[in-house]
Every structure is written in C-alpha cells, then in structure tokens.
Amino acid sequence: MKINKIIIHCSATREGQDISIDEIRSWHKKKGWKDIGYHYVVALNGDVAKGRADNVIGAHTQGHNRNSLGICYVGGVKTDGKTPKDTRTTEQKSSLKRLIAELKSKHPGSVVYGHRDFAAKACPSFDATSEYR
C-alpha cells in the first residue's frame, strides 16, 4: 500500500477533556468498525498512541483511506462541546510535528491534509494543509 496522504483529525471533544485511545476505539467499534479508524492518536500531554498498523487501511476519511494514514489529536472543540476550536496543547503541536516528519520520511512524497479538505466538517479545527506544507 503506497501512502501519499497524511490526514489530520481531531477527536471533536471539549478543550482540556482528556480521553484515551481506548475510548476512541470503543466509539468506533460501537459503529461496527473492526478497530479504531486512526493510525495514531495524540493525547493532551503529547503522548502518541498507536492505533491501526500503518499497513492496514484506516477508516478515517471516506474515499481516501486506501493510501493514507490518519492522525487524530484529542480535542478540537470549545468547552461548550460544539464550537470548533484549535485546542492543541504545546505538547500536542510538538508531537504532531515530530510524528508527521517521521511519517513523511517513511513515505516520501506524502502530503499532509486536514479532514476538512475532504469533508464538509471543521475537523481538525485548524488549517493543517497550510501549517504542515
């Protein structure tokens, strides 16, 4: 499987709300999916958890899963629970940058996008395409 896209997502959870990869996995399994849809999840403290293996097709961006890796950061919504907001912590920003650099090194020529580039959604609540160009 040739990876040519790295797609950034948010968990669409409230600013400061700490959730685990296991919680996201349970949400996705309740939808009937085999596993979590993402390949990586970045926690509030910057820890990176592994979701699906890189060689397993994700379930994160309809029509673009076959040749992409999905990264989700925890957050993306104001404390009201519905208004999109870039809630990335300093630690998340640092981890995202490092993870993306590693993945681009493993998959030369891959381009970073935000989920919103492929769907009518605010996700990941910031312009990932410009930021990680």
- Each residue of 24-39: pLDDT tens digit? 999 999 999 999 999 9
Q: Over the stretch 103-116, which tens digit does the pLDDT of each residue have?
A: 999 999 999 999 99
CATH number of the domain located at residue range(s) 5-131 in this protein:
3.40.80.10
pTM of the model: 0.97
- pLDDT above 90: residue 62: yes
Active site residues: 9, 38, 115, 121, 123
Per-residue b or e along 79-99, where b marks 16 or more CB atoms closer than 10 Å to that residue's CB:
eeeeebbbbbbeebbebbeeb
Section 17-25 average pLDDT:
96
